[in-house]
Amino acid sequence: MADGIGLARAAIEPALPEERVAKFIRTLRQRFSFSDEEQQQLISRMGGEAFFHKGDTLVDEGEWIEYSSLLFSGYACREKIDREGNRQIVEIQIPGDFVDLHSYPMEQLDHAITALTDCRIVKLYHKEIDDLIDKHPRFARLLWFSTIVDTSIHREWILNLGSRAGSQRMGHFLCEMYCRMEVVGLVEDGRYDLPLTQKDLGEALGFTPIHVNRTLKKLRSLGLADFRNQKVTIDDFDALADHCGFDASYLYLTPRKK
Amino acid sequence: MADGIGLARAAIEPALPEERVAKFIRTLRQRFSFSDEEQQQLISRMGGEAFFHKGDTLVDEGEWIEYSSLLFSGYACREKIDREGNRQIVEIQIPGDFVDLHSYPMEQLDHAITALTDCRIVKLYHKEIDDLIDKHPRFARLLWFSTIVDTSIHREWILNLGSRAGSQRMGHFLCEMYCRMEVVGLVEDGRYDLPLTQKDLGEALGFTPIHVNRTLKKLRSLGLADFRNQKVTIDDFDALADHCGFDASYLYLTPRKK
DNA sequence: CGCCTCATTGACCTAGTTCAATTTGGGTGG
DNA sequence: CCACCCAAATTGAACTAGGTCAATGAGGCG
Residue A212 pLDDT level (bands cut at 50, 70, 90): very high
Residue B165 confidence class, pLDDT cut points 50, 70, 90 = very high
CATH number reported for the structural domain that contains residue B223 in this entry = 1.10.10.10
What is the tally of structural domains in chain B?
Answer: 2
A64 in contact with B, Cβ within 8 Å: yes
Tell me: do B111 and B219 sit in the same domain.
no
Other Cβ atoms closer than 10 A to B136: 15
Tell me whether residues A90 and B158 touch, CB distance under 8 A. yes
Q: By the 8 A CB rule, do A162 and B84 touch? A: no
A185 and A97 both lie in a single domain = no
| pLDDT tens digits along A50-105 | 999 999 999 999 899 999 999 988 999 999 999 888 999 999 999 888 999 999 99
Number of neighbours of residue A64 by Cβ within 10 angstroms: 11
The predicted-structure confidence for B119-160, as pLDDT tens digits, reads as follows 999 999 999 999 999 988 888 988 999 899 999 999 999 999
Task: Give the mean pLDDT of chain B.
Answer: 86
Å between A58 CA and nearest CA of chain B: 18
pLDDT at B39: 78
Task: Give tens-digit pLDDT for A120-143.
Answer: 899 999 999 999 999 888 889 889
Tell me the average pLDDT across B173-199: 93
Using alpha carbons, list the distances in angstroms from residue B51 to A151, B72, B119.
27, 10, 6
Contact A239, A204 (CB under 8 A): no
CA angle A70, A75, A77 (to 5 degrees): 90
Residues 6 or more apart whose CB falls under 8 angstroms from that of A153 comprise A91, A176, A250, A251
- Best A155, A160, A203, A243 member to test B by mutation, with max B CBs in 10 Å, is A155
Lookup: nucleotide whose C1' is closest to A215 CA: D18
Q: Are A241 and A172 in contact (CB under 8 A)?
A: no
HEC-encoded secondary structure of B160-183 = HHHHCCHHHHHHHHHHHHHHHHHH
Q: Please report residues of B whose CB lies closer than 8 A to that of A206.
A: 161-163
Of A148, A172, A199, which residue is a domain's last?
Answer: A148
- Count other C-beta atoms under 10 Å from residue B142's C-beta: 19
Distance, C-alpha A197 to centroid of its chain: 18
pLDDT for B205 beyond 80: yes
Same domain assignment for residues B207 and B103? no
Whether residues B134 and B183 fall in one domain: no
pLDDT cut 90: percent of chain B above it = 63
- Considering only the beta carbons, identify the residue of B105, B150, B249 that sits closest to A145: B105
- Given B119, B148, B177, the domain boundary residue is B148
B117 touches strand D (CB under 7 A): no
Q: Give contacts of B 84-123 with A, CB under 8 A.
A: 84, 86, 88, 90, 102, 104-108, 110-111
% of chain A residues with pLDDT over 90: 64
CB distance A240 to A224 below 8 Å:
yes
Write the secondary structure of A223-241 as one string of H (helix), E (strand) and C (coil). CCCEEECCEEECCCHHHHH
Range of the domain at B142: 5-148
Position B154 in a domain:
no
Final residue of a structural domain among B124, B148, B172: B148
Cβ contact B144–A144 (<8 Å): yes
In a domain, B256, yes or no: no
A257 domain residue, yes or no:
no
What does residue A208 show for φ and ψ, rounded to 5 degrees? -80, 155
Instruction: Output the pLDDT for position A25.
Output: 67
- Residues A50, A93, single domain; the answer is yes
Are A111 and A232 in the same domain? no
Mean pLDDT of B73-100: 93
For testing the chain B interface, which of A93, A149, A163 should be mutated: the one with the most B CBs within 10 Å?
A163
Q: What is the pLDDT of residue B60?
A: 93
Q: Do A156 and B205 touch (CB under 8 A)?
A: no
Q: Does residue B8 have a pLDDT over 50? A: no
Q: What is the CATH number of the domain that holds B137?
A: 2.60.120.10
Number of A/B CB contacts below 8 angstroms equals 149
pLDDT at A30: 60
Rounded Cα distance, A27 and A186, in Å: 14
User: Among residues B218, B198, B220, which one has the least CA distance to residue B210?
Assistant: B198
Q: How would residue A19 be classed by pLDDT, with cut points 50, 70 and 90?
A: low
Distance, Å, B198 CA → D6 C1' = 17
pLDDT value, residue A37: 79
Instruction: Say yes or no: A18 and A76 in one domain.
Output: yes
Q: Are residues B135 and B170 in the same domain?
A: no
What's the pTM value of the predicted model, to 2 decimals? 0.88
pLDDT at B230 over 70: yes
Alpha-carbon span B224 to B87, nearest angstrom: 28
Same-domain pairing of A141 and A177: no
Average pLDDT in the B196-203 region?
96
Residues A106 and A215 both lie in one domain: no
Q: B53 — phi, psi (to 5°)?
A: -90, 155
Domain assignment present for residue A195? The answer is: yes
Shortest CB distance from B88 goes to which of A62, A80, A163? A163
Give residue B208's Cα distance to chain centre.
Answer: 24
CA–CA dist A215, A191 (Å, integer): 19
User: Does B121 or A2 have the greater pLDDT score?
Assistant: B121
Is residue A123 domain-shared with residue A14, that is, in the same domain? yes
Q: CA A32 – C1' D4 distance (Å)? A: 60
CA of A210, C1' of D22: distance in angstroms: 12
How far B145 CA sits from the closest chain A CA (Å)?
A: 5
Question: Mean pLDDT in chain A?
Answer: 86
Q: Confirm whether B257 is domain-assigned.
A: no
